[in-house]
Structure 1
Amino acid sequence: MSAMEKQDVNMTSLQSQLDALAAQAYDQLPGTLLRQLQLPIEQLMASEAVSKALKVGERVSDFTLPDALGNLVTFSTLLQRGPVVVSFYRGAWCPYCNLQLRAYQQALPQIQELGASLVAISPQTADHSLSLMEKQELTFTVLSDVGNRVARQFGLVFTLDESVRAAHKQVGMDLPVYNGDESWELPMPGTFVIDQSGIACLAFVDPNFTQRLEPSTIIAKLEKLRPVQASKVIK
């Protein structure tokens, strides 16, 4: 991406980019295929799956996952340094996820200035995570949650119905290839801000994968947390 393109991305809200991508899909994909790709959204909404997701005020259990290079990263260790922004995404194959991760990369300096760290988690294997990092030029931690163990702790996991798997493969979403198993499980995209005590103080989960949390909302929450974190250090 050129410097001018990066500047244009910075000036445009994440959601407006996602909306433009969704509109492009409506224009380019056959109606039947589009319907099958959207069916999981309707199923998740009908089952009220979001009600099972981690909520503000709830504690996050500790976990350890490998990063893109195979190094183990432990959540409680990250918390020792400050608040942690945890973002679950579907995989490198998801254009909406790529837009989100790119936007979060642009916001990373502000996140770090506020004493927080950022980790992105998906069920894809470490090799695919590494390819994603290199392609999107990501410098924050990307973790592989193969089997969705941690995503399950956050209440995000669902299974794609067999009736729509062929449609997903048709557009490059071959989950067994990316995730290394035949479960066809995914996390609902979700982003959480966790304070140093391990409590979620911001939680955003939407069954509609075209909806993601704006970086500005994350930064605003971290700014409110900063005085609290500073007082804890002084004590």
Structure 2
Amino acid sequence: MLFAVASFYAMVLLYHAANPAGATVTEAGFLENCRQICLQYGLISTGNLRKDAESYIRVVQKERLTESLAQILQTDTAPVTSQPHPLLHRAAPQVVLPDDKNQLASLQQLGLRRPMVVVFYLGYGCSHCVAQLVSLERDLHYFRELDADIVAISADSPQHTAQRFQQYGRFAFSVLSDENRLAAAEWDVFHPATEQSEELMDHGTFIVDRNGQIIWAFRGREPFLDNRSLLQVIAKSQGLLPESVAQAQ
């Protein structure tokens, strides 16, 4: 079954390559209809990373937050539980990396005496990765209400990040460059290739509390898009959840 799905998807990709979006198609046949569905849901690239990222968000993100922060924190739905991680409940590793202007930034200074969401993403060539940054940007005002900041890290060079910012616009939070992936390895989201295994880079999302301790971690092959959970965990770490909600969790 999976092979059949993969084969059909490959056919749609081949059709898309032979008939780029915007090209004149003589007949809107079955493959063209399938291509349009895939474009709508971000399953194939339009050539515009920002647009592809927004399509991915529409499909994958369970909800878009529109209510007030007080209403978000009042929810009875428990946040996603932290995954096991070797750094959980330990001090966040020291990280000093360049930003898109090639200025060194310290993770500890960026998050000084404030909670912080640290995101490891695969790079600005990955629309799914960019989708997480776009989603966090949309909800940034909620995080700022909790006095929390966001830092995103990838292996992109500062120059590449700057080019993407010029093309698609900047984010209102720090985006740092970890070209040699030493920070990613220290945070256990990157594993170099060995004789027994291939190189592995996961998406990683972490919450660091005001004391610089990692209190929540999530790694996986897809980006984490549940911002409600992140807000709940941050609020709870500061004693800002309503008492009834905190007791229920």
- TM class by shorter-chain length? 0.5 to 0.7
- The letter of the residue matching 1:120 is A
Aligned twin of 2:60: 17
| 1:227 aligns to 2:239 (yes or no) | yes
Q: Residue 75 of structure 1: CA displacement? A: 1.5
Aligned to 1:77: 109
Higher-Rg structure is 2
Q: 2:199 and 2:160 mapped to 1: Cα distance?
A: 16
Given the superposition, is the C-alpha separation of residues 189 and 136 from structure 1 closer, same or farther in structure 2, using an over 3 Å criterion?
A: farther
User: Are the aligned partners of 1:159 and 1:185 in contact in 2 as well (CA < 8 Å)?
Assistant: yes
Q: Deviations over 1:45-80 (max 9, x none)?
A: xxxxx97x5443122121111111111111221232
Gaps spanning 5+ residues in structure 2: where? Answer: 1-50, 63-82, 241-249
Give the share of equivalent positions with the same residue, in percent. 26
User: Relative contact order: is structure 1 or structure 2 higher (C-alpha 8 Å, sep ≥ 6)?
Assistant: 1
Runs of at least 5 residues in structure 1 that lack an aligned partner in the other structure: 1-5, 20-49, 162-183, 229-235
Counterparts of 2:95 and 2:202, CA distance in 1: 19
Q: Measure the CA separation in 1 of the matches of 2:182 and 2:58.
A: 28
CA distance in 2, matches of 1:56, 1:85: 14
1:201 aligns with 2:215: yes
Contact 2:114/2:147 (8 A) holds in 1: yes
Match of 1:146 among 175, 179, 191: 179
Question: 1:1-235 counterparts in 2 under 5 A?
Answer: 14=57, 16-17=59-60, 53-134=85-166, 135-159=168-192, 187-206=201-220, 208-209=221-222, 211-227=223-239
Aligned to 2:36: none
Higher share in helix: 1
Q: How far apart are the structure 1 equivalents of 2:200 and 2:158?
A: 16
- The CA deviation at 1:141 is 0.4
Secondary structure at the counterpart of residue 202 of structure 1: strand
2:56, 2:155 → 1: CA distance? Answer: 27
Post-superposition Cα deviations, 1:133-172, rounded to whole Å, max 9, x if no partner, equal: 34154111000011001111101113479xxxxxxxxxxx
Spell out, residue by residue over 1:168-197, the C-alpha distance to the aligned partner (whole angstroms, 9 max, x if none). Answer: xxxxxxxxxxxxxxxx96631100000122
With over 3 angstroms needed to count, the CA separation of the structure-2 counterparts of 1:185 and 1:13, relative to structure 1, is: closer
- Secondary structure at the residue paired with 2:239? helix
Q: 1:54 to 1:111 in 2, by over 3 A?
A: farther
Q: Structure 1 residues 215 and 54 mapped into 2: Cα distance closer, same or farther (>3 Å)?
A: farther
Q: Which moved more, 1:98-107 or 1:132-141?
A: 132-141
Quickly say closer, same or farther: Cα 1:185–1:74, change in 2 above 3 A. Answer: farther
1:14 and 1:225 map into 2 onto residues whose CA distance is 27
Q: Give the distance between the partners of 1:133 and 1:108, measured in 2 at CA.
A: 18
CA distance in 2, matches of 1:156, 1:190: 6
SS of the equivalent of 2:238 reads helix
Contact 1:67–1:73 at 8 Å: present in 2 too? Answer: yes
Q: Residue 243 of structure 2 aligns with which residue?
A: none
Question: In 2, are the aligned partners of 1:192 and 1:203 still within 8 Å (CA)?
Answer: yes
Residue 13 of structure 1 and its aligned partner are, at CA, apart by 9.5
Shift of residue 85 of structure 1?
0.8
CA distance in 1, matches of 2:121, 2:164: 12
TM-score (ref. length: structure 1):
0.61
CA offsets, 1:6-30, max 9 Å, x none? 9xx6xx99483379xxxxxxxxxxx
Could you say what the CA RMSD is over the residues aligned between the two structures, in angstroms? Answer: 3.1
